[in-house]
Structure 1
Amino acid sequence: MIKTSIAAALALALAAGSAMAEFKDFTVNGELVTKAQQEQVAADALANNPNPHGMMMNAELEDQVKQMIIEYKVMARYAKQQGIDKQDAVKQEISTMTDMILMKHAVNDYLKANPVEEKAIKAEYEKEAKRWGPKEVRIRHIMVKDEATAKDIIDQINKGASFAKLAAEKTLDTQSKDVGGILDWTSPSVYTGNLGDTIVTLKKGEMAKTPVQSPAGWHVVKVEDIRDSQLFPKYEARKEELRHILMQRKVQAFIHDKVLGADVKDAAAK
């Protein structure tokens, strides 16, 4: 999976900036702080928040941004009065920050020129829906550490032993141990590898004849019930999240392409 870079995250937040609260110009020691500057600081804050939508359009955010900028301006003025801005290490850091700011705005310009189209969002939604599948299952399983133990459990169940009782006694899955090995409704695609492949072959009430291996261990698995898919979200509920994911992909591809074309050399190389 491609992770979002800092620049991408900030640019994505900037793209949503128009939805934020109405900031007003103010001054600090006679220095003007514009509405646009406040929106920029707010966008940066939103980009670093795991739930940005929860921070949109509220007076508390306005107050926090204003206070943050006041602190920046006051302390920056103090630093200049002390000559701190003339130190070599500080000048080098400022230069680095300038590059980051330019990168952020380059990404934002790219996003404005290359927006995610509705048809791309719908196509991604349809791919996700296909992966989820038309059916959901409710399974019962027992997870153990080795194949021999799993085979022995299958033999016991085939001879009449209670699946639920054996699950409570032997499974290593602590989440399902107290409910007889039951795992609640979900898509078979959620179960990766051999486990998912096996589940889709089983009918309602059927147990796999042999143990199934997963990265976590060996499983005795039975499909308790099957129904038409109900849990996969509707398009409108998923739309904006998919838009954001596709924007991330666009930005990462854009940055990656530019980096590939860069002339990067070891400074010590001749």
Structure 2
Amino acid sequence: MMKTTIAAALALALAAGSAMAEFKDFTVNGELVTKAQQESVAAEALANNPNANQMIASPDFENQVKQMVTEYKVMAKYARDKGIDKQDAVKQEVSTMTDMILMKHAVNAYLKDNPVTEQEMKDQYQKEADRWGKHEYRLRHILVKTEKEAQDLIKEINGGASFAKLAAEKSLDEQSKSVGGILDWQSASVYTGQLSDAIKGLKKGEMSKTPVQSPAGFHVLKVEDVRDAQLFPKYEERKEEVRHLLMQRKVQAFIHDQILRADIKDVEQKK
């Protein structure tokens, strides 16, 4: 899976611009700062902040962005007055930043021309719902290090020993051992290793006949109860999250395609 790029993150933040504060034009040392410029700065700040939703919701968000832009403008004027903008290293860095800005707007333009459709969101949601499954399970388990330990526990339980008592005494799962090995309602799809298939293969009240392996060790597994799926969110609850997921995929595919088209060559070093 391709990782999220800077361009993708910025584009997604820009696409959420309608949720931003209502910025107003202002001037710094006589230089006009437009609403669009502030929104661009805000988008970059949001794209690089894991608490973006909280930032947008803050009543002080407009003032924070205005202060940020003011600092940029004041310090940029200072740099120009001192001739710092004429230094070769600074020129090279500015050129790189220009490329990043163009990349951001290219991605944003692509998303505008190729928006995520309602049908695409519904299709993605249905894939996730199908992966979750139609049923949820309440389990009881005992986690041990070796297959031999698990086999011995299965024999003890089949011989009449208490599953809950053995879980409390033997299980390596600190969270569930105090409640007799109970794992509360969950989809089988969330479990790793062989657990998911093993869960689906058991009926209510049944215990696995053999140890079930996962990355954590070996499990003695029992399905306590089964019900129709209830935990998976409704479409409207997942809609915006799905939209952003699909936007990210579109952007990644777009950038990847452009890279494949590019003529990229290593430069031989002169001896």
Report the TM-score when normalising by structure 1: 0.96
User: How far apart are residue 165 of structure 1 and its match?
Assistant: 1.6
Distance 1:166 1:218 in 2: 15
Larger mean Cα displacement after TM superposition, 2-11 or 42-51: 42-51
Task: Give 3-state SS (helix, strand or coil) of 1:220's partner.
Answer: strand
Structure 1 residue 222 corresponds to structure 2 residue 222: yes
Distance 1:184 1:269 in 2: 62
Structure 1 residue 15 corresponds to structure 2 residue 15: yes
Q: How do 1:16-31 and structure 2 match up within 5 A?
A: 16-31=16-31
Which amino acid in structure 1 is aligned with residue 202 of structure 2? L
Task: Give 3-state SS (helix, strand or coil) of 1:185's partner.
Answer: strand
1:116 alignment partner in structure 2: 116
1:267 alignment partner in structure 2: 267
Q: Please say if residues 199 and 223 of structure 1, whose CA atoms lie closer than 8 Å, have aligned partners that are also in contact.
A: yes
User: How far apart are residue 44 of structure 1 and its match?
Assistant: 1.1
User: How far apart are residue 177 of structure 1 and its match?
Assistant: 2.1
Q: Please say if residues 21 and 58 of structure 1, whose CA atoms lie closer than 8 Å, have aligned partners that are also in contact.
A: no
Runs of 4+ in 1 over 4 A off after TM superposition: none
Distance 1:264 1:18 in 2: 38
The C-alpha deviation readout for 1:102-158, integer Å capped at 9, x for no partner, is 000000000000000000100111111111111100111111111111111111111
The C-alpha deviation readout for 1:153-206, integer Å capped at 9, x for no partner, is 111111122211211222111221222211110111111331100000101111
Distance 1:165 1:86 in 2: 76
User: How far apart are residue 55 of structure 1 and its match?
Assistant: 2.9
Larger mean Cα displacement after TM superposition, 123-132 or 78-87: 78-87
Which amino acid in structure 1 is aligned with residue 137 of structure 2? V
User: How far apart are residue 53 of structure 1 and its match?
Assistant: 3.0
State the superposition RMSD in angstroms. Answer: 1.4
Q: Please say if residues 192 and 215 of structure 2, whose CA atoms lie closer than 8 Å, have aligned partners that are also in contact.
A: no
2:135 alignment partner in structure 1: 135
Structure 1 residue 106 corresponds to structure 2 residue 97: no
Work out the number of aligned pairs and report it.
270
Structure 1 residue 206 corresponds to structure 2 residue 225: no
Which amino acid in structure 2 is aligned with residue 197 of structure 1? D
2:125 alignment partner in structure 1: 125
Structure 1 residue 154 corresponds to structure 2 residue 157: no
Which amino acid in structure 1 is aligned with residue 35 of structure 2? K
Which amino acid in structure 1 is aligned with residue 152 of structure 2? D
Distance 1:128 1:61 in 2: 35
Q: How do 1:54-203 and structure 2 match up within 5 A?
A: 54-56=54-56, 58-203=58-203
Is there any run of 5+ residues in structure 2 with no aligned partner, and where?
Answer: none
Task: Give 3-state SS (helix, strand or coil) of 2:225's partner.
Answer: strand
Distance 2:124 2:59 in 1: 35
Identity of matched residues, %: 74
Q: Please say if residues 10 and 43 of structure 1, whose CA atoms lie closer than 8 Å, have aligned partners that are also in contact.
A: yes
Q: Please say if residues 137 and 227 of structure 1, whose CA atoms lie closer than 8 Å, have aligned partners that are also in contact.
A: yes
Task: Give 3-state SS (helix, strand or coil) of 1:4's partner.
Answer: coil
